[in-house]
Structure 1
Amino acid sequence: MARRSSTIARHGRLPRRGVWQTAGKFVACAVAVALVSVGGVAAWAVTDVVNTTSKGAVLAGETPGQAAPDINSIEGGVNLLLIGSDSRAGQGDGYGNPARETGNLNDVTMLLHVAEDHSNATVVSFPRDMFVPIPSCPRFNEDGEQVGSYPAMSRQKINTTLSYGGMACTVLAVEDLTGLDIPFAAEVQFNGVIALSNAIGGVEVCLAKSIKDSKTDLDLPAGNVSLKGKDALQFLRTRHGVSDGSDLGRISNQQLFLSALVRELKSAETLTDPVKLYSIAKVAATNMQFSQSLNNINTMVSIGMTLADIPTDKITFVQYPNYYVDGGVSPLTTDANTLFDAIKQDKNLSVTGGTGGSIPQDGESTAPPTTPPATDSPDSTTPPEDGTVELPDSIHGQNASLETCADGNGY
């Protein structure tokens, strides 16, 4: 089970700097955590990056000014929540309806879990329209001091937690949903995703069919495409251009991109270039907002170093199991328990339910669930000899070694 931090993360509301909508946010965090950390960074570069970072949000139970860990692989496991909002505030033109500037919904919520022994890692995507209980959430002022609390709610969409009680509420809701302690969190703006994708030189993805989406101004041909800048951001935002046009299909597209990103980060040409590592660290530091627990290059590097030696087939992206209901989706509780029991035991995961939308290069796509099952899928009764847990077929996703193609709309 992941090691619990000595101070439990409870996030206050972060200053409104303009925020991000989709898993492009995770791309930025993955870059900051994985790229920056592997291969070492010169001491002068670390100092420069630290001086560049903004003041982190104070978490309940944290003591401001505590020393950061040495730049080594962090001890024990890691749970890090990546949260994004649909707000357009401060991001300029080109991101849809400007009236959405007033919105503050966490339309993407992703949890990174690294095993205690650093043998595997899992990233869980939580559908934005999934109905969940919302716990009582602390209310923080701008100085990070708790000044009250928000009442609990029995059933709301998970993407309302950010607007309801800030990052603290999203963290608490995910902790209640998963049974995991989450000591770290981060978010990034739209323009930060563009800057980071440019810094890494782009990510090559496969498109089974062309993608044309007027809502994100995206027009990509079929075949292998290198994505960076605004194209990378809009590829991660599009849902009308891929799969079945749903948010669940978009999650699959995002997992395809992130798997390709991980493979690229693992390439020797990228991970052994200290100049590139430093430049990406500085881009991350100037374009992301971290919780105070993560607001130090040493901590970022220490977490990232846990990912350096994990094989791509041991890095698994999954979607929280769910089924459609009126107005959104609901959790498949039994199957979710199977997933998170395995995560708490630091088991490597095997996805049996298909990608949920993207197309494996040697097979057909598997569509997201559309109707509620009579019962949840049974637990696997014959685990592989190496201890890998075969997940119920209601859980879609892929590991980072699987090369898949986006199921474009072909227009």
Structure 2
Amino acid sequence: MGRTRDNREYGADSAAGNGPVSRHADDTAVGVARHLGSHRRMPGWLKVTAALLTVLVVGGLGFAGYWYFRLQSNITTAPLTAGDGTASDVNDSSDRMQILILGSDTRDGKNSEYGGADESTGYGKSDVMMLMDISADNKRVSVISFPRDLLVDIPQCTDPQTKRVYPARSGVMINEAMGEAGIGCAVDTVNKLTGLEIDHFMMADFNAVKELSNTVGGVDVCISDAVYDPDSQLRLPAGTSAVQGEMALAFLRTRHAFADGGDLGRIKAQQGFLSSLTRKIKDDGTLSDPAKMLKIADVVTQNLTVDNGLASVPSLVTIGNRLKNIDISKVAFVAVPTTPAVTDLNRLQIAEPAGSQLFAALRGDVDLTDPTAPATPSPKPTETTGPSAVPTETAPPVAPYNKALQPVTVANGTGVTGRSQEIVQALVAGGFTQAGQFAANPVAQSVIYYGPDFADVASDVAALLGIPAAQVQPAPAIPGVQVYLGTDFASGTSYGAAAALPENIVNQTAGDTVCQQANPVLIVRD
């Protein structure tokens, strides 16, 4: 018997409970109807949760975008060099990296309260100059300070804005290097002095110090006696004090409050300040705290100028990540060895051979806290094996020659007086009795040049002195063989032999708490 059609079956009367919805819901074999959701409202708690998640996601993206834009817009840039140099191709996340850190004494803008604009012409002078060297394995950092009174040779530099070319100068204070042609000229000057190739620079002004010290809540410093310096307005009691703002700036700027009132005492005080700041940031977990890092990043980037290769927030974050896990006992603070300048006793010059030994150690990636430790290993070159390898042809035998008749000269480009005589003596002892010597312009790397028909002699001279074959080059204008000594061969008679670093070259590590010696002239009594 057939059933009559009931319009309610299709939901005309939901109260009846006998339509398809009811049947599908009751029939577990069929499962829940696909159109069930269109007939039931979303629960209130689910709506609230969904809304909150949407707000959090959108808000988070907006927050991140805001801070990225803010930090990126804070950054000021300048070219890395002021000469023929090119941008560094270093991998910021995995390669050894060297960053020149500069403190500008410019008095414009926020710094106008520290003097008139006439006190810092052009780009200003570098009030602080430090080279930060980060090892490839991120296990150690060396921070090398250059006294502002150090006399150096400044290479030819071109102003990146005006394109004006400034000629090379000799015997000029290192803090004047960027005054005419900009920060890149300071980079070129340090490259020339050390034989290194700096990858990046960071320059901050007076305001950066004040704001950073305020942001971290003060930095602990220690001094042996109560002191007052009327020039910088530094006033501190004996013992440990937390300095921030103007007093932190005065601590770093004072030229007379420490030791004998000279630049070296000032450098040690600056290194002590940075050591304490490093400990505080590490102890507070700042480098692992996004909120704290944002505050510091905002303060720093507002007062920072970097090279074009470092001019992005990700690049700065990469460097921060490399530094956060380094053992503070492996953060070494060093001052370039100096002595009173011969031309002006109120200025300084590199002390030799200590200066050359330090620069050679830096070029060799030596751990300054443990010079006997092996350098960070470099990737090994891929060896060619198998049938694709091309056999090397055997060179024809060379007829013997008389060493005593060969013209060999030694060019002293080490900057160390009398250095060529040591090498001449080694050559004479090795049978090259016609060796001569002369002074030459300083160079970073030692090279042996040879004229026509003297390749075999040059090879034997290189073997005698331990100079690699890759540094033996033909030079048609050379009569015989010329050993051009560089700053990488400033001591000893065997190239590449580990040269002893000057005693106590490391002033302190970031793990050391050092109390500065007050200048007796400025000690005050309560």
Q: TM-score scaled to structure 1, two decimals?
A: 0.73
Structure 1 segment 325-344 matched on structure 2, within 5 A: 325=341, 326=344, 327-344=346-363
CA distance in 1, matches of 2:192, 2:105: 23
**Equivalent residue letter for 1:120:** R
Q: Does 1:120 align with 2:137?
A: no
Residue deviations 1:265-309 (CA, integer Å, cap 9, x gap):
211443332211111111112121222222211111111222122
Q: Does structure 1 residue 289 correspond to structure 2 residue 305?
A: yes
Give distance in 1, aligned partners of 2:242 and 2:279: 14
CA drift at 1:78: 0.9
For the 8 Å contact 2:369–2:506, the answer to whether it is kept is no
Task: Determine which of 360, 366, 374 is the counterpart of 1:347.
Answer: 366
Q: Deviations over 1:157-211 (max 9, x none)?
A: 1112111322121111100111111121121221222111111111112222112
Compute the displacement of 1:390 (Å): 6.3
CA distance 1:79–1:324, change in 2 (3 Å): same
Percentage of identical aligned residues: 35
Matched, 1:403 2:513: yes
Matches within 5 A, 1:21-32: none
Please point out which of 309, 316, 324 is paired with 2:332.
Answer: 316
> How many angstroms apart in 1 are the aligned matches of 2:370 and 2:276?
17
- The one of 156, 162, 171 equivalent to 1:155 is 171
Residues 78 and 113 in structure 1, CA contact (< 8 A), matched pair in contact too: yes
Question: Aligned in 2, Cα 1:296/1:217: closer, same or farther, shift over 3 Å?
Answer: same
1:188 aligns with 2:176: no
Could you tell me the TM-score, scaled by structure 2's length?
Answer: 0.58
Q: Distance in 1 between matches of 2:309 and 2:99?
A: 10
Deviation at 1:48, TM superposition (A): 3.7
How far apart, in 1, do the equivalents of 2:206 and 2:169 lie? 30
Q: Classify 1:44/1:228 alpha carbon distance in 2 versus 1 (closer, same or farther; 3 Å).
A: same
CA apart distance, 1:259: 0.9
Unpaired segments of 5 or more residues in structure 1? 1-41, 353-372, 381-387
Instruction: Please state whether the residue corresponding to 1:164 is helix, strand or coil.
Output: coil
Q: Does 1:52 align with 2:83?
A: no
* Partner residue of 1:111 out of 114, 118, 131: 131
Q: Distance in 2 between matches of 1:282 and 1:140?
A: 27
In structure 1, give the amino acid aligned to 2:300: A
Aligned residues: 332
* Structure 2 counterparts to residues 239-388 of structure 1, below 5 A: 239-325=255-341, 326=344, 327-350=346-369
Query: Measured at CA, do residues 92 and 257 of structure 1 come closer, stay the same or move farther in structure 2, by a change above 3 Å?
Result: closer
Deviation at 1:46, TM superposition (A): 5.1
Alpha-carbon contact 2:72-2:312 (below 8 Å) kept: no
Are the counterparts in 2 of residues 105 and 159 from structure 1 also a CA contact under 8 Å?
yes
Q: Look at both structures and tell me which one has the larger radius of gyration over its CA atoms.
A: 2
* 8 Å contact kept, 1:83–1:187: yes
* 2:198 alignment partner AA: I
| Alpha-carbon contact 2:153-2:170 (below 8 Å) kept | yes
Instruction: Tell me if structure 2 keeps the 8 A contact 1:379–1:391.
Output: no
Task: Give the structure 1 partner of residue 38 of structure 2.
Answer: none
CA distance in 2, matches of 1:250, 1:150: 31
Letter in 1 for 2:133: H
RMSD: 3.1
Equivalents in 2 of 1:317, 1:115: separation in Å? 14
Q: Which residue of 1 aligns with 2:108?
A: 89
**Alpha-carbon distance in structure 2 between the residues aligned to 1:177 and 1:58:** 20
CA contact under 8 A between 2:80 and 2:201: conserved in structure 1?
Answer: no
Match of 2:237 in 1: 221
Specify which structure has the bigger relative contact order, considering alpha-carbon pairs within 8 angstroms and separated by 6 or more residues.
1
Q: Is the CA contact (8 Å cut-off) linking 1:120 and 1:346 kept in structure 2?
A: no
| Matched letter for residue 78 of structure 2 | A
Q: State whether residues 106 and 125 of structure 2, in contact with CA within 8 Å, keep that contact through their aligned partners in structure 1.
A: yes
Aligned residue among 130, 138, 158 for 2:158: 138
